[in-house]
Amino acid sequence: MNQRTNRATRTHLALLCLACIPCRVAADDKPAGTLRTLNAHPTVVRLSASNDVQRVVVVVTEESGLTRDVTDLAGFAFSPEGIVEHVGGGLLVPRQAGAAVLTIAHDGLRAEVKIVAANTERSISFRNDVEPVLMKAGCNSGACHGNARGQEGFRLSLFGFDPQMDYINLTRQASGRRLNVAEPDSSLMFLKATAQVGHGGGERFTKDNPLFAVVDRWVRAGLPNDPPDVPTLTGLSILPRACVLASGGATQQTVVRATYSDGTERDVSALALFSTLNEASAVIDSNGRVTAKDPGEAFVMARFGTFAVVAQIVVVADQPFEWPQNVRPFNYIDEAVHAKLRKMRVRPSAVASDEVFLRRAYLDILGLLPTPAETEHFLRDAAAGKRARLIDELLQRPEFPEVWAMKWGEMLRIESSKLGVKGVELYSSWIRDAIFRDVPLDRIVRDLLTAEGGSFHNPPANFFLVETSPTTMAENVAQVFMGVRVQCAQCHNHPFERWTQDDYYSFAAFFAQIGRKRSEDPRETIVYNSGGGEVKHLRTGQNARPKFLGGEVPDIPGGQDRRKVFADWLTARDNPWFAQCFVNRVWAHFFGRGIVDPPDDVRVSNPPSHPELLERLGQKLVESGYDIRALVRDICNSRTYQLSTRVNETNARDTRNLSHATIRRLSAEQLLDAICAVTQVREKFAGLPLGARAMQVADAKTGSYFLGTFGRPPRQTACTCERRDEPTLSQALHLINGPTVWEKIKSPNGRLERLLEAGSQPDVIVNELYLAALARGPTAAERAAAATHIAASKDARTGLQDLFWAVLNSHEFVFNH
């Protein structure tokens, strides 16, 4: 590294050290009181058969907000007696048909459970009883017989997605040796599962295990196959859905209930698979008992059949906590965030300074830095409400739609290898103009999904040229407009989500009748509804009937455009998928992570950090007429958005509860545009006029080495993971030694040379540098350090070049604080 770089590095470090201030503050913890309550889960029990069992868990919520499982300590009394019996541990079994009320008492508190019991026995079912055993024991997992090739000549469908195949393979292969009706105990399945003979999977259960009893009952019943009208699983729930446990070993039993197509309900806790999404804070055993560990938030998941559900487990230190009296919500966003923080016993950071807020708002809303004049004007303004006024002003500037046109370009994969240069320009301009004119989001999406005509004359038609396969198109539509990744269900049922293989092909059928042909201009393609074409199910070979993802099967007359039916469903006011998907994407832009993160991976095993807030934001978007500016206005006016990145002792480890702002590296486009703005040297992109901003580059194929190095996505997939915002060594080296920064600093047409030619004094130039790059003036210490460095340099020009370089490489410049 040359002498100039060494001098600049020393100057850089000096400036950063002088700018550093302590991050931690003291806090006062005192308890906040609420009434104690006693709750039973579930509150209504339906024992649909004489061989049913239902566990009831009893939970006390203390004044501090902590919850305790007191099931083993509570008293159980039935009225009338004799219909249901409590056999211990909260387990209820029916004794005769009838209705009863269970009164639970503990420590002066009471709760009631309504019970209906039946006295008819439920027949054993392969689909509803045996398949869950195979899943619980791990037999049909990908590492065992659920593997595509099976194990040791025996194959099961992955996680039981094909019960009929599993029944045949179990009962008819290997000359019936796997299951012996005449001598059940000699069945090879039992001998291997109990490790009485060699088994690659080891012991899966013992003879006294309830799992063994289920399969044994089925074998002794003669291996009955299910009739066509066997009830099917329609839903799953886990109780309690949320609890707050003391760290260091507090426990909570959970209950998992399944609902079926015939209206019956069952406690399937013994057959469900349990796992935790954060072992550091809570673990859950195979019986559904949660044990708290270190403070934090965990979600425990229960899987049964094709369904999965989660329960929130908040783990806190059992000590007093007091919410700061000076922290009050600015709007409904803060109300939801503060409710979660109170529950987590976390205090939010202070509100950021005007300088930090100004720079953050400009970068997030417009993708660029404020000019020195804009910074000085805002900082001088002493009137109340100036932040809200600034937000309104920025939302009306033409740069705002350019930011979101770029975002849409990534989601829709706009690039010239698929669409041609003219198609890219027309498509991007259409999106940018729609956002500029405040066209509602639902209308934009509807126009995209139902587009017909020439790709030049009706630019939304380009949507159907990026991909032509109905299945790939369905995957992209689900991921972009619903935030759901269904790719896994193409070959088998999704292992951690509700989506089945049937769902996948039925959803793809909406896009099977899209016709394409060339127009008179060979560069243009005409898109139309062909009225014919189907998607064949991979497993059955049958034509899949269109079905809404997670919804019903619509009645679509032959020849009607299926896309319009789907678009009506997707953008309906009561469809939460679309609205919540887009507010989550917008949220991720302003906070660096979504309420569901990644924002295009919505699933049960990836729960939202603030589900009530996500729902409320979705409702507000719908109520506003899908107005993106109204949504951005609410977000930016919230205290949560305006928080400082400086942490306190309660939120220093928080990464998902919005207790402080997150330091985010500028995007590739933001950073290049910021360097150009500070140096006042314009960039040249192929096909665009000199001075076009990186944010305005519509084609993924048009760019620069800088943009690629700093993570601009190639738009090969619809996944948000294509954009890389994490810092890398190559990025640091390019900023330090690459041509982008130094050439612009030393340019004869740049800011520094123009100021020098105008006779500006070094202290004036330093002040303008800080205002342009950091939206603040230099501190006294920074001024002194700069003056010392300039005085020690060969000349003022050299010293100022070093200072420009140091600031443009500083953490404060490269990151959004």
* SS3 track for 588-648: HHHHCCCCCCCCCCCECCECCCCHHHHHHHHHHHHHCCCCHHHHHHHHHCCCCCCECCCCC
Q: Supply the pLDDT for residue 20.
A: 37
Q: Would you say residue 329 lies in a domain?
A: no
Q: How far apart, in whole angstroms, are the C-alpha atoms of residue 531 and residue 568?
A: 18
Residue 497 sits in the same domain as residue 548: yes
State pLDDT tens for residues 221-267: 999 999 999 999 999 999 999 999 999 999 999 999 999 999 999 99
Q: Supply the pLDDT for residue 174.
A: 66
Q: Would you say residue 339 lies in a domain?
A: no
Nearest-5° Cα angle at 283, 280 to 288: 165
State pLDDT tens for residues 371-394: 999 999 999 999 999 999 999 999
CA 788 vs. chain centroid, Å, equals: 49
Residue 188 sits in the same domain as residue 214: yes
Mean pLDDT of 113-117: 96
Which 3 state secondary structure label does DSSP give 586?
A: helix
- pLDDT band with cut points at 50, 70 and 90 for residue 12: very low
Query: Residue 785 pLDDT > 60, yes or no?
Result: yes
Residue 706 backbone phi and psi in degrees, to 5: -60, -50
Which of these three, 535, 570, 605, is where a domain ends? 570
Residue 633 sits in the same domain as residue 763: no
- Widest distance between CA atoms in the chain: 104
Q: Supply the pLDDT for residue 492.
A: 74
Mean pLDDT of 343-360: 97
Residue 95 sits in the same domain as residue 235: yes
Q: Which residues contact 179 (CB under 8 A, 6 or more apart)?
A: 170, 171, 187, 188, 189, 219, 223
Q: Would you say residue 226 lies in a domain?
A: no
Query: Residue 13 pLDDT > 50, yes or no?
Result: no
Judge whether 337 and 327 are in contact, CB under 8 Å. no
Query: Residue 34 pLDDT > 60, yes or no?
Result: no
- Which residue range is the domain that position 780 belongs to? 668-816
Residue 280 sits in the same domain as residue 256: yes
Buried b (16+ CB within 10 A) or exposed e, 449-472: bbbbbbbbebbbbbbbbbbeebbb
State pLDDT tens for residues 580-621: 999 999 999 999 999 999 999 998 889 999 999 999 999 999
Which 3 state secondary structure label does DSSP give 804?
A: helix
Count of C-beta atoms within a 10 Å radius of residue 748: 9
Residue 99 sits in the same domain as residue 142: no
Residue 298 sits in the same domain as residue 156: no
Tokens of 752: 């520094």
Mean pLDDT of the chain: 91
Q: Would you say residue 609 lies in a domain?
A: yes
Query: Residue 290 pLDDT > 90, yes or no?
Result: yes
Which of these three, 316, 333, 368, is where a domain ends? 316
Q: How far apart, in whole angstroms, are the C-alpha atoms of residue 755 and residue 761?
A: 8
Q: Would you say residue 690 lies in a domain?
A: yes
Residue 177 sits in the same domain as residue 110: no
State pLDDT tens for residues 422-466: 999 999 999 999 999 999 999 999 999 999 999 999 999 999 999
State pLDDT tens for residues 154-206: 888 888 888 888 888 888 876 667 888 888 888 888 888 888 887 877 888 88
State pLDDT tens for residues 547-583: 999 889 999 998 899 999 999 999 999 998 999 999 9
Q: Supply the pLDDT for residue 113.
A: 97
Which of these three, 190, 220, 250, is where a domain ends? 220
State pLDDT tens for residues 625-684: 999 999 999 999 999 999 999 999 999 999 999 999 999 999 999 999 999 999 999 999
Tokens of 503: 């769902």
Q: How far apart, in whole angstroms, are the C-alpha atoms of residue 418 and residue 372?
A: 42
Residue 198 sits in the same domain as residue 70: no
H or E element, residue 192: helix 188-193
Residue 436 sits in the same domain as residue 485: yes
Single-letter amino acid, residue 674: A
Q: How far apart, in whole angstroms, are the C-alpha atoms of residue 68 and residue 61?
A: 7
Rounded percentage of the chain residues whose pLDDT exceeds 90:
77
Q: Supply the pLDDT for residue 64.
A: 87
Q: Which residues contact 688 (CB under 8 A, 6 or more apart)?
A: 696, 697, 702
Mean pLDDT of 54-62: 96
Q: Supply the pLDDT for residue 205.
A: 81
Residue 306 sits in the same domain as residue 443: no
Count of C-beta atoms within a 10 Å radius of residue 560: 14
Q: Would you say residue 331 lies in a domain?
A: no
Count of C-beta atoms within a 10 Å radius of residue 342: 14
Which residue would you say has higher pLDDT here, 44 or 501?
44
Judge whether 109 and 36 are in contact, CB under 8 Å. yes
- Beta-bridged to residue 303, according to DSSP, are 273, 308
Q: Supply the pLDDT for residue 291.
A: 98
Mean pLDDT of 20-29: 31
Query: Residue 22 pLDDT > 60, yes or no?
Result: no
Q: Supply the pLDDT for residue 419.
A: 95
Q: How far apart, in whole angstroms, are the C-alpha atoms of residue 437 and residue 248?
A: 56
Residue 645 sits in the same domain as residue 723: no
Mean pLDDT of 137-157: 80
- Quick one: 305 exposed, middle or buried, by C-beta within 10 A (0-12, 13-18, 19+)? buried
Q: Which residues contact 213 (CB under 8 A, 6 or more apart)?
A: none
Q: Would you say residue 328 lies in a domain?
A: no
Q: Which residues contact 548 (CB under 8 A, 6 or more apart)?
A: 507, 554, 566, 569
Judge whether 150 and 144 are in contact, CB under 8 Å. no
- Beta-bridged to residue 86, according to DSSP, are 92
Global confidence as pTM: 0.88
Q: Supply the pLDDT for residue 156.
A: 84
- Beta-bridged to residue 8, according to DSSP, are none
Mean pLDDT of 810-814: 96
Q: Which residues contact 750 (CB under 8 A, 6 or more apart)?
A: 679, 680, 681, 744
- Structural domain tally of the chain? 5
Query: Residue 84 pLDDT > 70, yes or no?
Result: yes
Judge whether 301 and 310 are in contact, CB under 8 Å. yes
Query: Residue 623 pLDDT > 50, yes or no?
Result: yes
Q: Supply the pLDDT for residue 614.
A: 97
Q: Would you say residue 240 lies in a domain?
A: yes
